[in-house]
Amino acid sequence: MQFFGVPFTVFGDDSLQYLNTILGKRAFIVTDRNIVSLGLVDLVGAELKQANIEYKVFDEVEPDPSIETVVKAAGIAKDFKPDWVIGLGGGSSMDASKSTLVCYAAGIGPLDLAPSTFYDLRATAKLMCIPTTSGTGSEATWAIVLTDVAGQRKVSLGSYETLPDIAILDPRMVMSMPPQITGDTGMDALCHAIEGYVSTWRSLFTDGPGLMAIKLVFENLKKAFDNGKDEDARKAMMCAASMAGTSCTNGMFGLGHSTGHAIGGLFHTPHGRAVGLYLPYTMEYLINGSEETAARYAEIARFCNISRDNDDKKCAKALVDAVRKLAKSVGQPLAFKDTNIKREEYIKQMEGLIDRSINELMTSAISRVPESEDLEKLFTYAYDGKPVDF
Amino acid sequence: MAVFGTIEWAKAFMEAINASKAYEDAATTWEGDFYFILEPGGAVKEPGYQYVDLWHGKCRKVDVVTASEKDKYKPEFILQASIATWRKVAEKKVDPIQAIVTRQLKLTGNMGKIMRAVKAAQELVNCVTKVQTEYPE
């Protein structure tokens, strides 16, 4: 038995106007202060007012949102009694909104969410996500990533009930995104799409959005990075991010994400930059040990006109080269030594990096599951910028 | 060969766990007990409750109780499924976490705690595969 879920998705110019058509009394907007200062909450609020929906803003979501932040948001929501919870922002705000809905509507703690339990969250409130970046794809996924601050680790949670009902992709929300965030988040989208396409949890339904997302990222990320005013590139990247999210949430993420999460938990490297950095190393690792995955990478390379070679491995390696080339062109570090983390500091955390990676769900959804020894080598190679040869 | 869901099977499972270095390494900090519930259906006429107490990489106790005796234990986690699903998990045709996410395997308990012990969960399934198992048809 497999499922395929996708939110009702509104996209293109003036998509926010769709808010005029929704029915409800109160909306609880979960966001961060930067989004408020950019005036994006006002854009959403204006549309809600036209729909006669009262709204309250919780703007305390931090990057890598903590369990405590979500509990606080849910407490406020409980008093406000919204029938809509709206996640507005990047992945952090959208993930926090999903968890807020869970805690508010089910009356449980964030970590108590059990995917096999039906909570009937919609009896209390519906969920909408409006992204302001193009990468996380959280608007199209049921995944929630929170940070256990005390344990210095990211916790992945989710249930089919945390898939948003509606996703609104309005290009106005991403036009002011600075190049660095455009690059970071765009690499996240690419990572989602590639990992979803080769995941052992994939299905025939996930292949289409995954492939299209990869093609769109290769064709548009650099354009959006170089010229943030390029509306066509921005729109294409918004769609790519959502398609990539659809692909990986109905399939699964992979080793680039589990290693990237470990890095994020311990070194607070921005999510997209971390997973984008580790993606090519983990791809090489899979190519070296899994013909099945090498063949899937080759399909991607051929679909995106990166290589037409008949040899799957050569094609797959051409894809890895293309990923690195794209990453470099959008200001991404290609080795962890290029960040400001010293080698001794990195090596000192090796045990934690391995423990966190090996206990990520994504690590089990790939065709070559690494043990601790291989993970240690992978982390070392990625720090030094050495192509993976094992 | 032991029949899945019987005390003989549970004891064989316990032996397999306690012989597994890989499980011990993956679950060194794990503290938590389970009910694995076999739902009625097909050849399974009554629900079966298999109690498994896992502690720091070892299995401390197993037991099998009937529905009327289920209050004997108050485990931290409950995993419940049909025989067909248990068999798919045991034969590694479906990942245990994937089975939970797709609601084939119904989990009661702290998902966050389970999600921090993915490797241990997989090694536990590896232990199941080492038990010569007969499934009620």
Write out pLDDT tens, residues B76-88: 999 999 999 999 9
Interface residue B122 vs chain A (CB under 8 A): yes
Chain A closest CA to B125's CA: distance in Å? 13
* Chain B hits for A148, Cβ within 8 Å: 112
- All structural domains of chain B with their residue ranges: 2-132
Q: What is the pLDDT of residue A79?
A: 98
Which tokens go with A137?
């794809």
Q: What is the pLDDT of residue A314?
A: 97
Q: What is the C-alpha to C-alpha distance for residues B106 and A90, in angstroms, rounded to an integer? A: 31
Q: What is the C-alpha to C-alpha distance for residues A336 and B26, in angstroms, rounded to an integer? A: 27
- The CATH homologous superfamily to which domain A179-384 belongs is Dehydroquinate synthase-like - alpha domain (1.20.1090.10)
Q: Which residue has the tokens 């849910």?
A: A74
For residues B126 and B20, is the Cβ–Cβ distance under 8 A? yes
3-state secondary structure of A159: coil
Q: What is the C-alpha to C-alpha distance for residues A41 and A24, in angstroms, rounded to an integer? A: 18
Question: What is the residue-wise DSSP string for B39-105?
Answer: --BTTB-S-EEEEEEEETTEEEEEEEE-GGGGGG---SEEEEE-HHHHHHHHTTSS-HHHHHHTTSS
Q: Which residue from A249, A254, A138 is spatially nearest to A185, judged by alpha carbons? A: A138
Residue of B nearest to A250 (CA): B102
pLDDT above 80: residue B58: yes
- All structural domains of chain A with their residue ranges: 8-173, 179-384
Q: Which residue from B135, B123, B126 is spatially nearest to B26, judged by alpha carbons? A: B123
Which tokens go with A320?
């890895």
Looking at residue A61, what DSSP letter applies?
A: P
Q: What is the C-alpha to C-alpha distance for residues A317 and A117, in angstroms, rounded to an integer? A: 42
Q: Which residue has the higher pLDDT, A247 or B113?
A: A247
* Chain B hits for A155, Cβ within 8 Å: 112, 115-116
Instruction: Express each pLDDT in B13-53 by its tens digit.
Output: 999 999 999 999 999 999 999 999 999 988 888 899 999 99
pLDDT above 80: residue B111: no
Class of domain A8-173: alpha beta
Interface residue B111 vs chain A (CB under 8 A): yes
Q: Which of B29, B115, B124, B125 to mutate to test the interface with A (most CBs of A within 10 A)?
A: B115
What mean pLDDT is reported for chain B? 90
Q: For a pLDDT cut of 90, what percent of chain B falls above it?
A: 60
Handedness of CA A255, A326, A331, A34 (dihedral sign): negative
Domain formed by B2-132, architecture: 2-Layer Sandwich (3.30)
Per-residue pLDDT of chain A in tens (390 residues, 90 and over written 9): 778 999 999 999 999 999 999 999 999 999 999 999 999 999 999 999 999 999 999 999 999 899 999 999 999 999 999 999 999 999 999 999 999 999 999 999 998 888 878 899 999 999 999 999 999 999 999 999 998 888 777 788 888 899 999 999 999 999 999 999 999 999 999 999 999 999 999 999 999 999 999 999 999 999 999 999 999 999 999 999 999 999 999 999 999 999 998 998 899 899 999 999 999 999 999 999 999 999 999 999 999 999 999 999 999 999 999 999 999 999 999 999 999 899 999 999 999 999 989 888 888 889 998 989 999 999 999 999 999 999
Q: What is the pLDDT of residue A112?
A: 86
Q: What is the pLDDT of residue B19?
A: 97
Element (H, E) at A317: helix A312-329
CB contact under 8 A, B117 and A114: no
* Chain B hits for A359, Cβ within 8 Å: 115-120
Q: What is the pLDDT of residue B108?
A: 85
Q: Which residue from A279, A275, A371 is spatially nearest to A321, judged by alpha carbons? A: A279
* Chain A hits for B105, Cβ within 8 Å: 116
Question: What is the residue-wise DSSP string for A356-377?
Answer: HHHTSGGGGSSSS---HHHHHH
* Chain A hits for B27, Cβ within 8 Å: none
Element (H, E) at A57: strand A54-58
